[in-house]
Structure 1
């Protein structure tokens, strides 16, 4: 869809469908709706309209028990954009939307797939994996189960009719970028300022656990070391090799970790991998063995997890799902 000029001030609102499934992520809903709502407010006109839709219609609950009243996907839509929210389960049947998505793209509408919705699309279109992205948690599932090593690690990928996005906080960046195609830069800057979103991140920005350093210690060698650890979660590097690639001695690296982070390189690396393992455990349906392999624990994962968190991975998963 070609961007309109701000001076055109089209009388017809830009119509957006927001497609949800049970257990949808409230952060992503707000990331879409609040950007559109604020854009309308700052423009002092109804630039955007939106409708909540689901497979069967009716009330749909989020993972945090917030509820929206939806219209059935079977009812005709004239939307210019369709946002499909994730719901922490890429295997959820309501995310199998092949024919629905084709209906939108055939009408020249653009489809934005967030997190698990993107993951489901990538799994269904395996040959297109390199053209799309999803949340890093879901990328780990695609990697372990389908061998899709080439799925991108960016916040979002614009492939024309289909935009895939990591979801969560990146939803705001994508929605701001889309709204900016229809409104002035000044208007969108004001919207971003209201959201305390200091800048619209470029789609190519890498996600945490996907190559971007999540830690700035003030020590360049230490930051380089942490980046190497983050980039090598599944197949951990020996600390001696990390030190060599960082350009310092192993002993010097150990002193830096102790001085700045109050831990050892091995301890930090293991904590980093266990943190990712815990996220996968609580937010995906990957098996315990798959999670261990994805996080660099080819054996003994359950024992290491229990020693760290005080319960087995299975117990932690059961406890997490009762909350």
Structure 2
């Protein structure tokens, strides 16, 4: 642990692009803002940066005013924020990453930004992290990728992270280096962050812990379901593994999740199918098979989402074409 240095201001650059995830920005900025309030001397400052100076819109329609990328950055840390579009070209910031690390700054890549870095730089010999949804996408697009399901993985000056709510944990780990333990605990308490998780903590869907229900059998059941999406485990086998009755399992699902085991399992698989349909070029049949639906997938999908997989794909293509045409119009 690095000794606190209260008389130094540590600067953080926050790299954003249109469609950035507001949850991640809030996790970074609010942690620093509260640290500045509780510390004897405000230890942190920050700047929003993007490829072009000016307003940048989040996926939540909240806007921040950013300065342009610095040719010679002087920040101590840089955070590259994830994006609602995992294929957003603005997430390709390898040159900026190199500029920061060359000058000794540590760079944190969150969610989709981590995925883009993994895709462009490769993972040979190195474990890297990204959000579990993006891990699914990368695995389907490239069978060579095997994500580390930790909330963050540190590789020298580059840290790949899950992002989303785990951004607070990552930021608290940074704060720990520069403020006292008492102040760190105060920041966590103000954020109502009950436990500061270290980087090695598994993501909730990473396989180590699936639920916070406090019910051991239910948590184990959810873990098995999440680990067996492509080849669903029959409920009759689940109760045998858990050594409980079918009625007992039904009661646990009703009490804690207000649903049935079959309904929960089906919705879990449909949610993953939706992610693959939106973010990969897999055929509808391939998506169905990957999510444990060898037949009847389109009907089940429409019953849940109100649209067929084929219609969804067509709708997305039309939206993408419209966006491209608008961009060309703006350029003129």
Superposition TM-score tier, normalisation by shorter sequence: 0.7 to 0.9
- Aligned residue pairs, count: 311
Aligned to 1:216: 213
- Distance in structure 1 (CA, Å) of the matches to 2:196 and 2:77: 20
- Give secondary structure in 1 for the equivalent of 2:169: helix
Aligned to 1:258: 250
Q: What is the correspondence of 1:70-85 to structure 2 with a 5 Å cutoff?
A: 70-85=66-81
Q: Residue 291 of structure 1: CA displacement?
A: 4.2
* 2:18 paired with 1:5: no
Aligned to 2:185: 189
Q: Give 5+ residue unaligned stretches, structure 2.
A: 321-332
Q: Give 5+ residue unaligned stretches, structure 1.
A: none
* 2:169 paired with 1:173: yes
- Give secondary structure in 2 for the equivalent of 1:127: coil
Aligned to 1:267: 263
- Distance in structure 2 (CA, Å) of the matches to 1:53 and 1:45: 25
Deviation track 1:7-60 (CA, whole Å, cap 9, x = no partner) reads x4334x111100001100011010000111111111142311111001122111
- Distance in structure 2 (CA, Å) of the matches to 1:286 and 1:89: 15
Aligned to 1:155: 151
Relative distance call for 1:14 and 1:150 in structure 2 (3 A) is: same
Deviation track 1:122-164 (CA, whole Å, cap 9, x = no partner) reads 1112234851111111011001001144211111112221111
Q: Residue 92 of structure 1: CA displacement?
A: 1.1
Relative distance call for 1:314 and 1:66 in structure 2 (3 A) is: farther
Deviation track 1:289-318 (CA, whole Å, cap 9, x = no partner) reads 364344333443222111233322355675
Q: Residue 245 of structure 1: CA displacement?
A: 3.3
| Cα pair 1:53 1:70 within 8 Å, conserved | yes
Q: What is the correspondence of 1:30-49 to structure 2 with a 5 Å cutoff?
A: 30-49=26-45
| Cα pair 2:141 2:280 within 8 Å, conserved | no
Aligned to 1:226: 222
Relative distance call for 1:20 and 1:288 in structure 2 (3 A) is: farther
